[in-house]
Amino acid sequence: MLTKKQHELLMFIHDSMKDTDISPSFEEMKEALGLKSKSGIHRLISALVERGYIERLPNRARALRVVCLPEGSDTAAANDSASARSEHNNIGQFTPAPQAETLGIPLYGKIAAGTPIEAIRDEGHTIDIPPSLLGSGQHYALEVNGDSMINAGIQDHDIVIIKKAETCNNGQIVVALVDDNEVTLKRFRRAGSKIILEPENDTHEPRVLDPDRVKVQGHLISLFRQY
């Protein structure tokens, strides 16, 4: 079952693509649904893809295809539109968009926001992120596993966007490698000759470590959550 906003977006994409195989831009979707940011559109699209109503077409910017419509909608129109786009694609007559609406960054796996665990690095998986959530530099994504950062607004199963870095400022939330085999997401503090990895949950204890035991692998810049 779709939420009201998911249904509105699906029908807007379908209606916009009746006469063309180019999906509306994120900006057009945002304006049509009255949302304040493109990240909200990205979450809605991800939910529709997950539920099988639309799919992303590879190697093309702004390339979406309506697979089906909710019961009671004009599914025949959706199927006709999809068939027309498929035939158009087969002859290679693509209309390029000037700029991709999302960027794919590697999703390396799960990171503990409780007891540290080894991050699962899998180069084969990526996640599409709106450029507005990124900045300069190299980035990667990790799925949070645990509740030790909930007071910072980071919940279990959230996707955190990390900028690669080997240094950080005092107080930043970082990906820290401990003893070369444990990776954790914590707030970084310096206290004299020690480094403190602080949780954001009163039920968890901070870790006080010698500097040579901690290597910063990046710091938090954005958070992505699906509903």
Q: Where are the alpha helices (DSSP H) in the chain?
A: 4-16, 26-33, 38-50, 75-90
Give the list of residues 6+ apart from residue 72 with CB closer than 8 angstroms, or none.
Answer: none
Alpha-carbon separation of residue 156 from 36, 126, 140 (angstroms): 25, 19, 18
Structure tokens at 121: 């690095």
Q: Which of 30, 38, 163, 186 is catalytic?
A: 186
| 37 flagged as catalytic | no
| 148 flagged as catalytic | yes
Instruction: Count other C-beta atoms under 10 Å from residue 199's C-beta.
Output: 23
How many angstroms separate the CA atoms of 222 and 103, rounded?
14
Q: Which of 16, 39, 148, 222 is catalytic?
A: 148
Residues with catalytic function: 148, 186
